[in-house]
Amino acid sequence: MRSRGAPGSCMAACVAAILAALLNAGSCAASHADGLAADFAADREGAGRAALVLAREAFDAWCLRHEQIEPPDDLPPPLMRRSGVFVSAILGDAPRCCMGTLYPTRATLAQEIVAAATAAAGMDLRFPPIRPDELKRLRLVVSIVDPPQPISDPAPLDPVTDGLAVRSSLRWGVVLPGETPHRDLMIKWARIRAGASENDAVDFFHVRAFRIIEPTRDE
């Protein structure tokens, strides 16, 4: 999970950021039982685009000035609710950084996006620091996640549209929707990220997410 060589390792660094929040998972889940993924999917060009723009502003502010921005006041209403979120950057087809949380740790999703984007830009220790000259070549991805729902068997999940969280005796491992099209790899990676072997007893959770990605930027 924490190794640079772990399969699909973009999410490995994300897990470090979610451990504290997950310790309080029960109380957090109760406070935001109505997930936001469907709301954002229905308003991709409004709330979804605003989330992506906010993530980019926070990401660039940290890379260029080591500054953590404050979210503006005129954001769409869904961004003023609470939810977990992951912000990642890709270079070509390869992950460059990724940080986030399965459960909300801040008062609003907007604040959560800023925190995740800032952490991705400067605190993903698996990768070298983001350089200013890379910014135009990086594409950001924002994944807004609903509270994980316990399931008995991950086999029916579609890895393209469904995410998987695994809880072991050590920690959690997360694979977001679309990380791999292969179900067997999704399960394998989630176990690895949770520090669990193939035969270790674990708890499985279905993760629904709204995912929006930046278009290719001009050089």
Query: What pLDDT tens digit does each residue of the chain (219 aa) get?
Result: 232 233 333 444 343 333 333 333 333 333 333 578 888 989 999 999 999 999 999 999 999 999 999 999 999 999 999 999 999 999 988 889 989 999 999 999 999 999 999 999 999 887 888 999 999 999 999 999 999 999 999 999 999 999 999 999 999 899 999 888 999 999 999 999 999 999 999 999 999 999 999 988 655
64/75 Cα distance (integer angstroms): 24
Domains of the chain with CATH codes:
10-213 (3.30.700.20)
CA dihedral sign, ordered 115, 116, 118, 122: positive
**Coil, strand or helix: which one is 180?**
coil
One-character DSSP codes across 63-100: HHH-------S---GGGGS--EEEEEEEETTEEEEEEE
- What values do phi and psi take at 207, rounded to 5? -120, 115
- Which of 151, 172, 174, 150 lies closest to 164 in space, CA to CA? 174
The residue type at 143: S
pTM over 0.85: no
Q: What is the DSSP letter of 214?
A: P
- What values do phi and psi take at 12, rounded to 5? -60, -45
